[in-house]
C-alpha cells in the first residue's frame, strides 16, 4: 500500500472496466482525469453519485476531463448495477467503472481505510493533470455523497492556477476575481495582468480572472 501526496505521479495500472481493459495513463492521454472510488455496487449513495456524473459528462468534456469510477465488485455486478443506475437516475452511464475485485488499484491508491471499513473503499477522489501529477485528493466517508458542483469548481481553479500566476480565494467560482501570487512583483503585473489589479494589502492583490475574455 502506498501513500500518495499532492504532486506525486499518479500510479499507473491496467484494469478491467465496464468499458473494457484500460491502461490508466494511456487512457488518460493528454487529458485531465478524475479517479473516484465507491464502497460497493448496489448501494444507494453510490447509485446517485454515478448517475450525477453521467449527467455532468458535458461539463467534464468542456474542461477536457476524463472520469473513471472504481468499486471492489466484479464486471458482472457492475453491468447489472449500471442498469439500475440508468433506470433510477434517468440517465445513461457513459464512463468506465473499474472492477477491482483483487483490490489492486484500491491498495495502490490507499482507498481502503481499515478503521472505517476493512474491506470496502471509502469515497476517494483524485484529480490528475495531463502530466499525470496528482493535483487534488479528497476523501469522504461512505455516508456522505460527493458534491460534483464542487469538483467542477475545483477543476476550474486547478486549470486556471496551473496556467496563470494566480490563486483562487475562499468560495471562488469561475468568473470571480483572483489573487495574484506573492512571487509576482508589482513591476510584472502590467504585463502579466493587463486587466489591472487592486492592492488590498501588499500581499493581497486581486485581479480579474485572466483566462476570460
Note if 46 is an active site residue.
yes
Res 136 pLDDT > 90: yes
The per-residue pLDDT for range 93-134, each reduced to its tens digit, is 999 999 998 889 988 998 877 555 555 666 889 999 999 999
Q: What's the pLDDT at 12? A: 96
Range of weakest confidence among 114-123, 132-141, 147-156: 114-123
Residues 201, 127 within the same domain: no
- Average pLDDT of the residues in 27-47: 92
- Average pLDDT of the residues in 16-33: 96
Q: What's the pLDDT at 120? A: 60
Give the Å distances, CA to CA, from 163 to 160, 172, 210: 6, 17, 10
Per-residue pLDDT band at 1 (split at 50, 70, 90): very low
| Residue of 112 and 85 predicted with greater confidence | 85
Q: What's the pLDDT at 116? A: 56
Residues 20, 112 within the same domain: yes
Cell 491502461, residue located:
23
Q: How many domains does the chain have?
A: 2
Q: What's the pLDDT at 118? A: 54
**Which residues form the domain of 202?**
164-207
- Average pLDDT of the residues in 59-80: 94
> Among the three residues 118, 146, 174, which one is the final residue of a domain in this structure?
146
3-state secondary structure of 113: coil
- For 68, the grid coordinates are 473513471
Given 35, 46, 67, 127, which residue is catalytic?
46
Whether residue 56 contacts residue 146, with contact meaning beta carbons closer than 8 Å, is answered with no
Q: What's the pLDDT at 30? A: 96
Residues 82, 179 within the same domain: no
Residue 152 lies in a domain: no
- Assign residue 79 the CATH number of its domain: 3.40.30.10
| Residue of 142 and 64 predicted with greater confidence | 64
- For 115, the grid coordinates are 478503521
Res 183 pLDDT > 60: yes
Residues 97, 196 within the same domain: no
Residue 91 lies in a domain: yes
- Average pLDDT of the residues in 9-16: 95
For the range 22-26, what are the long-range contacts, defined as Cβ-Cβ under 8 Å and sequence gap of 24 or more? 22/68, 22/96, 22/98, 24/68, 25/132
pTM of the model: 0.89
Whether residue 15 contacts residue 22, with contact meaning beta carbons closer than 8 Å, is answered with yes
Amino acid at each position: 500500500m502506498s501513500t500518495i501526496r499532492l504532486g506525486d505521479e499518479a500510479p499507473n495500472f491496467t484494469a478491467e472496466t465496464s468499458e473494457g481493459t484500460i491502461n490508466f495513463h494511456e487512457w488518460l492521454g493528454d487529458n485531465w482525469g478524475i479517479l473516484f472510488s465507491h464502497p460497493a455496487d448496489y448501494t444507494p449513495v453510490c447509485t446517485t453519485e454515478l448517475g450525477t456524473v453521467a449527467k455532468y459528462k458535458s461539463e467534464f468534456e468542456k474542461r477536457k476531463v476524463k472520469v473513471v469510477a472504481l468499486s471492489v465488485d466484479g464486471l458482472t455486478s457492475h453491468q447489472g448495477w449500471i442498469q439500475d443506475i440508468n433506470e433510477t437516475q434517468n440517465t445513461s452511464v457513459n464512463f468506465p467503472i473499474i472492477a477491482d475485485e483483487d483490490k489492486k488499484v484500491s491498495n495502490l491508491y490507499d482507498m481502503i481505510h481499515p478503521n472505517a471499513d476493512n474491506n470496502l473503499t471509502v469515497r476517494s477522489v483524485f484529480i490528475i493533470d495531463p502530466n499525470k501529477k496528482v493535483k487534488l485528493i479528497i476523501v469522504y466517508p461512505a455516508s456522505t455523497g460527493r458534491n460534483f458542483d464542487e469538483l467542477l469548481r475545483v477543476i476550474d481553479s486547478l486549470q486556471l492556477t496551473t496556467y496563470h500566476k494566480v490563486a483562487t480565494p475562499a468560495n471562488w467560482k469561475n468568473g470571480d476575481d483572483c489573487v495574484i501570487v506573492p512571487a509576482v512583483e508589482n513591476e510584472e503585473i502590467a504585463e502579466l495582468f493587463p486587466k489591472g489589479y487592486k492592492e488590498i494589502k501588499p500581499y493581497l492583490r486581486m485581479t480579474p480572472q485572466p483566462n476570460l475574455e
